[in-house]
Structure 1
Amino acid sequence: MLLRLLGRVAATALLGTTAACSGSDAGHWVGDYVTVNDFEAVRGWGADNTGLVRDHAHSGQYAVFVGPQREYSLTYDLPLGEASVHTLKGVAVEAWVYLPSPQAAASLEVQVRLPGEENKLGYAGRLPLPEQVKETGKWTRVRQEFAFPVGLPADAHLRIFMWRNGSAAETVYLDDLRVKALE
């Protein structure tokens, strides 16, 4: 068992070294992860800890939520030029969500905010969660791709968050978020 584990570690290290040394791949890291978050390591990093909840998580101890007491979840916010090693043509967003009933409503929002003006968007996309969650009362995987317009500046900010849409009277949870760059 130990030899098998050591073999896997060595193979993984070799593949990582080979990929890192391949000069022809420089700048072509299409399909890389922009962010992956299970919200376990957010506490203590300056984030708004009131946006985390321990009473309901898909994995680990923490998830983010929206509900009557919170309109927006914690927000991922990073300049496009820092979010990936190449120009982002879009993102594929995957997460696990929990809607307690058919009346629960929220959406996962993907925005690119242009520099200079606080509310000017270069892109806005929405994944209405009830459209993908057909069975409430259990954790469900959701996924959607968002294609960005060409020519967004590197200092525009990629923002990803959950919004309760102003009407949800029940709490909706999100966990295990993965954001992958699109080719």
Structure 2
Amino acid sequence: HMGEESAMSDGFEDTTTDEPVEDDYTADDASGDYFDINGDGIEDATTVAGEETFIDVDHDGVADGVLTADGELFSDTDGDGVLDSQLIDVDGDGLIDEVHTDLDGDGDVDQVAADTNADGLVDSVGTDVDGDGALDTYAVDANADGLVDSVITDQDEDGVADVTMTDADGDGYLETVEYGDTDNSQNPGLGTNMNPNA
């Protein structure tokens, strides 16, 4: 589903897997290479037969991530033993630019967190709110202060913002609402009141 064009198309095929994270590697396995990634003196990663590298940073005996022979990096973000995120270096500079996550375990990417300006901080998070396989809501932190500056919604998934809510004064509250759909046909009866039931 995520192969469809979206406002944040990255040119990559988004994939997740529901395969369990393998955790049958041991430090005495002669067929592997072992690495201490974080410098704490304890082996964190094991490369098995030159094909996959299993990463166990929290030393609980269960792999937290897998680096494939193709260089693809997958991780188990919620600790359930299933790889649910793919970490992607879009521009080839060795830094992770995007994290694609399957939040509900259905095999489709539901969320993409992106560092669009290469400062090491997430500045945009796209989410598939309606579960149709296409990103439709984006939270943006344009000034890297850790607060959401705007929320952009593309309800009809045509790549054009239908509703943009903005924190114009930087107080952490989204107070400005703009409609890209000028006749407001995507939001009938909503007007400028964001709480129509009030």
Q: TM-score, normalised by structure 2?
A: 0.24
* More strand as a share of residues: 1
In terms of Rg, which structure is larger? 2
> Between Structure 1 and Structure 2, which shows a larger proportion of helix residues?
1
